């Protein structure tokens, strides 16, 4: 072999060697080391999240309550240089003066956050469109589109709740699905919170290609890997929007609450906690402006009295005592007890108001005879069937629990209170294990240590209307037009009291409206069964309470109304309830009692503003002046309103803290 051909071979070997080195290197880069795939994806693919439309909320008659709307905030990104900026053209498009432009710029300079600031909040739709076309001229400006709730009504805020940006804690605590990310909106209260999973929908994704200059180059693989967002489900509430708006109007300028339930289903037709706020006040774009004010308002508009506040029930509680007495066999509908302008035991005396003498159970209900129910309760506790009043009390309490008292009902309205029916241990401790009727006499007429929320009260009246059963009250009716409500709301809760006993009490309630405590508040053509209550309030004027249902046979609506510091039950609470019944059953737009309606619309029963509270909102500087004014006012009215609006009870304060958290 010549030298030339051996050199030739070495060259060919060199070529092959290079080929082998390269193929090995390529095998390492392409097959062994997979990190380049990630680097390539990181380079060129950006995943954009597309937020779904939040589910719409409807009322029971398919009226739209809450929907979504886009809001455009014109943002400015920094560093911003005014030089070479077409200020005139820009101002023309968004319709502001040059002076205003400079003012806004100054303001934006102060509020820069992460390199950008809001320049013009809530840009009008037409300006947005005009600006959009010329956006490329103003590269330092961009538009931030936010989807926010909008409402067709000013009512129902407490039930609907509101949405807000997810908190760090919620982010940390979320389940394995890890659906949420920073900046997402989430239902924070009410239906928005309880039905968050149904309402939120499913986020979509868009895989966008980004070139080396950072410019978007369209969807990857023509959108093959994109995920279309799924809109949230349509949630139909049980609310009757017309009734809700009407109830809120009746309750305006009053403290208190109204809960109306459809007895046959447990559906909440209306729930008012007065004072109300407009749901729009707490939507994303307005929340910052209003939340603090609402939180500090002494009348506590954020606080849902209908489920969170618990009151002594007053006379309406007599119905329960009557029912238990009948079931325990200690009284009969025909039983009569004497009433000597009240009831006395030892040094204790419970007053009664004038009414016809020698009443049977029906008459006692109708006339709300205190003596009759003191006797009834005594018979219950001193029932020879049981060894001791304590044992009898335990049985009595068991009935109360069957009615849904002393525990959270478990509705879908958040911040529910338990209320309170004292435990026997409570009295053991209080009275050194020696107690009986005389120590618990106030329970006969619904005063004392017992506390009931308006929702529980409405549930009780609903159970009475059903003659012995109830469904847990709830605000959900349909999801996506399907009856897919949680099964617990379809569960029938039976009360172990015979139907005939209910009939007897219902008779009495019917009489209440005819010749009893709430005579003249009835509505012609509707047989209403009601019971008034006047709750003694150690802090101020009595609370006016009324609960009723209608019609007597085949009830369609059961209502509990509490008007704080308003006095006798029939004066304020009863007309609110009966007018609502008329509205709901007759579906009339015009009331048969326009004067009564007008009186309610116009009545102002709110506590007068108090210096202490105002000072918390305003600057301290004003407080001296306010205090001075206040002392003058006090002299004028001669009465201290201080504790009035705070009077409800300790539960209210406790739960409020919960809400604040």
Residues that bind other proteins (CB under 8 A): 3-5, 7-8, 11-12, 14-16, 18-19, 21-23, 25-27, 29-31, 33-37, 39-41, 43-45, 209-213, 217-218, 220-222
Measured from the CB atom, is 38 or 177 closer to other proteins? 38
Measured from the CB atom, is 46 or 439 closer to other proteins? 46
Measured from the CB atom, is 132 or 221 closer to other proteins? 221
Measured from the CB atom, is 207 or 559 closer to other proteins? 207
- Rounded CA gap, 536 and 370, in Å? 14
Measured from the CB atom, is 16 or 612 closer to other proteins? 16
Measured from the CB atom, is 39 or 145 closer to other proteins? 39
- Rounded CA gap, 453 and 71, in Å? 39
Measured from the CB atom, is 27 or 601 closer to other proteins? 27
Strand locations in 445-519 (E): 469-471, 476-479, 492-494
Burial of 275 (0-12, 13-18, 19+ CB in 10 A): buried
**CB of residue 115 vs other proteins: minimum separation in angstroms?**
22
Vertex 133 angle, CA 127 and 137, to 5°: 105
Measured from the CB atom, is 35 or 554 closer to other proteins? 35
Measured from the CB atom, is 213 or 620 closer to other proteins? 213
Q: Which residues contact 212 (CB under 8 A, 6 or more apart)?
A: none
Contact status, residue 609 vs residue 549, Cβ threshold 8 Å: no
Burial of 591 (0-12, 13-18, 19+ CB in 10 A): middle
From the list 286, 243, 304, 289, the residue with the least C-alpha distance to 150 is: 286
Name beta bridge partners: 147: 70
Query: CA dist 305 to 221, 258, 416, Å?
Result: 55, 9, 9
Q: How many CB atoms lie within 10 A of CB 633?
A: 15
- Rounded CA gap, 246 and 260, in Å? 12
**CB of residue 93 vs other proteins: minimum separation in angstroms?**
30
Name beta bridge partners: 205: 49, 227
**CB of residue 205 vs other proteins: minimum separation in angstroms?**
17
Phi-psi category of 114—alpha, beta or left, where left has phi over 0 and alpha has psi -120 to 50?
A: left
Q: Which residues contact 564 (CB under 8 A, 6 or more apart)?
A: 254, 255, 256, 537, 543, 605, 645, 647, 648
Measured from the CB atom, is 18 or 145 closer to other proteins? 18
- Rounded CA gap, 426 and 308, in Å? 22
**CB of residue 221 vs other proteins: minimum separation in angstroms?**
8
Contact status, residue 253 vs residue 299, Cβ threshold 8 Å: no
Angle between helices 594-602 and 241-250 (to 10 degrees): 70
**CB of residue 5 vs other proteins: minimum separation in angstroms?**
6
- Rounded CA gap, 658 and 648, in Å? 16
**CB of residue 208 vs other proteins: minimum separation in angstroms?**
11
Measured from the CB atom, is 30 or 632 closer to other proteins? 30
Tokens representing 202?
């499913």
Contact status, residue 470 vs residue 549, Cβ threshold 8 Å: no
Q: How many CB atoms lie within 10 A of CB 178?
A: 8
Question: What is the chain's length?
Answer: 661
Measured from the CB atom, is 219 or 423 closer to other proteins? 219
Measured from the CB atom, is 40 or 637 closer to other proteins? 40
From the list 160, 163, 76, the residue with the least C-alpha distance to 111 is: 76
- Rounded CA gap, 566 and 403, in Å? 27
Vertex 244 angle, CA 293 and 248, to 5°: 45
Measured from the CB atom, is 12 or 654 closer to other proteins? 12
Contact status, residue 531 vs residue 319, Cβ threshold 8 Å: yes
Q: Which residues contact 4 (CB under 8 A, 6 or more apart)?
A: none
Contact status, residue 161 vs residue 287, Cβ threshold 8 Å: no
Measured from the CB atom, is 220 or 427 closer to other proteins? 220
Measured from the CB atom, is 12 or 484 closer to other proteins? 12
**CB of residue 142 vs other proteins: minimum separation in angstroms?**
23
Is 20 strand, coil or helix? helix
From the list 522, 567, 577, the residue with the least C-alpha distance to 547 is: 577
- Please give the backbone phi and psi of residue 147, each rounded to the nearest 5 degrees, phi first: -100, 130
- Rounded CA gap, 553 and 465, in Å? 8
Is 144 strand, coil or helix? strand
- Rounded CA gap, 489 and 481, in Å? 17
Tokens representing 411?
């509705």
Measured from the CB atom, is 45 or 499 closer to other proteins? 45
**CB of residue 48 vs other proteins: minimum separation in angstroms?**
16
């Amino acid at each position: 072999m010549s030298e030339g051909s051996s050199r030739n071979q070495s060259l060919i070997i060199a070529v092959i060697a290079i080929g082998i080195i390269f193929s090995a290197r390529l095998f390492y880069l392409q097959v062994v080391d997979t990190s380049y795939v990630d680097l390539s994806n990181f380079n060129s693919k950006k995943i954009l999240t597309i937020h779904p439309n939040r589910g719409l909320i409807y009322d029971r008659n398919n009226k739209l309550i809450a929907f979504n709307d886009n809001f455009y905030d014109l943002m400015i990104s920094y560093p911003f240089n005014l030089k070479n900026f077409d200020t005139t053209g820009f101002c023309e498009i968004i319709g502001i003066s040059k002076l205003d432009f400079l003012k806004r710029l100054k303001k934006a300079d102060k509020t820069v956050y992460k390199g950008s600031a809001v320049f013009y909040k809530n840009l009008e739709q037409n300006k947005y469109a005009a600006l959009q076309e010329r956006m490329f001229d103003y590269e330092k400006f961009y538009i931030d589109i936010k989807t926010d709730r909008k409402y067709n009504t000013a009512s129902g805020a407490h039930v609907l709740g509101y949405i807000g940006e997810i908190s760090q804690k919620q982010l940390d605590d979320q389940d394995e699905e890890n659906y949420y990310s920073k900046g997402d909106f989430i239902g924070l209260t009410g239906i928005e919170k309880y039905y968050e999973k149904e309402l939120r929908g499913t986020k979509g994704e868009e895989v966008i290609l980004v070139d080396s200059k950072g410019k978007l180059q369209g969807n990857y693989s023509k959108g093959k890997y994109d995920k279309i967002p799924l809109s949230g489900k349509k949630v139909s509430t049980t609310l009757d929007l017309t009734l809700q708006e009407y109830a809120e109007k009746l309750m305006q300028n009053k403290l208190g609450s109204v809960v109306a339930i459809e007895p046959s289903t447990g559906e909440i037709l209306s729930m008012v906690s007065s004072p109300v706020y407009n749901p729009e006040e707490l939507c994303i774009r307005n929340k910052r402006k209003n939340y603090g004010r609402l939180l500090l308002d002494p009348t506590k508009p954020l606080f849902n009295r209908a489920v969170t506040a618990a009151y002594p029930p007053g006379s309406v509680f007599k119905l329960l005592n009557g029912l238990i007495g009948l079931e325990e066999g200690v009284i009969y509908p025909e039983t009569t007890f004497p009433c000597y302008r009240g009831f006395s035991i030892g040094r204790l005396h419970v007053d009664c108001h004038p009414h016809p003498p020698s009443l049977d159970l029906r008459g006692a209900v109708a006339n709300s005879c205190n003596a009759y129910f003191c006797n009834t309760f005594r018979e219950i506790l001193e029932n020879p069937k049981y060894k001791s009043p304590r044992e009898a009390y335990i049985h009595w309490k068991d009935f109360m629990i069957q009615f849904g008292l002393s525990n959270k009902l478990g509705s879908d309205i958040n911040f529910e209170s338990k209320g309170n029916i004292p435990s026997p241990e409570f009295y053991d401790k209080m009275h050194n294990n020696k107690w009986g009727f005389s120590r618990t006499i106030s329970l006969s007429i619904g005063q004392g240590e017992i506390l009931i929320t308006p929702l529980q009260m409405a549930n009780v009246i609903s159970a009475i209307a059903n003659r012995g059963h109830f469904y847990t009250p709830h605000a959900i009716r349909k999801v996506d037009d399907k009856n897919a409500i949680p099964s617990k709301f379809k569960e029938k809760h039976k009360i172990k009291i015979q139907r005939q006993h209910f009939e007897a009490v219902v008779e009495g309630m019917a009489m209440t409206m005819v010749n009893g405590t709430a005579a003249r508040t009835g509505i012609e053509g509707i047989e209403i069964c009601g019971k008034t209550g006047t709750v003694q309030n150690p802090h101020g004027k009595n609370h006016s309470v009324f609960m009723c249902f209608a019609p007597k046979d085949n009830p369609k609506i059961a209502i509990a109304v509490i008007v704080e510091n308003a006095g006798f039950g029939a004066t304020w609470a009863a007309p609110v309830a009966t007018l609502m019944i008329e509205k709901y059953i007759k579906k009339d737009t015009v009331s048969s009692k326009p004067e009564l309606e007008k009186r309610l619309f116009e009545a102002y029963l709110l506590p007068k503003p108090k210096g202490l509270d105002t000072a918390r909102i305003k600057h301290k500087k004003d407080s001296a002046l306010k205090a001075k004014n206040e002392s003058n006012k006090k002299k004028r009215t001669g009465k201290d309103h201080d504790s009035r609006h705070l009077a409800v009870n300790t539960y209210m304060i406790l739960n409020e803290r919960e809400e604040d958290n």
